[in-house]
Amino acid sequence: MSTDSDIDTLTKLFLFKGVPRRSLQELLSLAPPVRFMTGQPVFHQGAEADSALLLIEGRLIATVTALADDKEVGQIRPGEIVGEQGLFVAGGKRSASVVAAAPSACLLLSPAVMDHAFHNPAIVCLEQHMLGTLARRIRGTNQAIQKVWKDVPDPDAEADAAAAEAARPTTLRDRLASLFGGR
């Protein structure tokens, strides 16, 4: 794929709508496209995280391995970013493995690329898109946590309720004594 073809591909992504071609050309020079064949590993869970990828063509699948079992946690489609922790956490590790589910092309994003945001509208769009993505992921995580909290009984709350029930005065004399601090 030629550079002109890569720019054409970027102009079709919603996040770059209205971005000048010259800015996209600069983005491509800072974040060169990398290509993956179907089945090719992109990231390995636990590996050093020092970059992210913007998928521009194809499809990627993210999986997490726990207790020798792989669980698919997401599919990445064109216009989506994967591995963004590598842009924000020095010395971080990949939290999932990612593999190409189809022939795919991605822009390789490094912290140095993001340093050019002030001068490049394409990178500003990328940052805004990334912030929106992170906010949606945080909201989804919060909703999942709330659901788990609602579904799992709190043993401390049950014990507190049982203790309160046991300590509750049973006779009128006991209730009046507890109300006024007597015995």
DSSP string, 16-74: GTT--HHHHHHHHHHS-EEEE-TT-EEE-TTSB---EEEEEES-EEEEEEETTEEEEEE
- Which amino acid is it at 57? E
Residue 156: both structure tokens together: 């401390």
Task: Collect all residues with Cβ–Cβ distance below 8 Å to 37 and sequence separation of at least 6.
Answer: 100, 103
Within the chain, which residue ranges are assigned CATH 2.60.120.10? Answer: 3-151
**The pLDDT of residue 155 is above 80:** no
Q: Which CATH number fits domain 3-151: 2.60.120.10, 3.40.50.2300, 3.90.1640.30, 2.40.40.20?
A: 2.60.120.10
Which percentage of the chain shows pLDDT scores above 70?
Answer: 81
pLDDT in tens, 85-136: 888 888 889 989 999 999 999 999 988 888 876 788 998 888 888 888 888 8
User: What's the pTM?
Assistant: 0.74
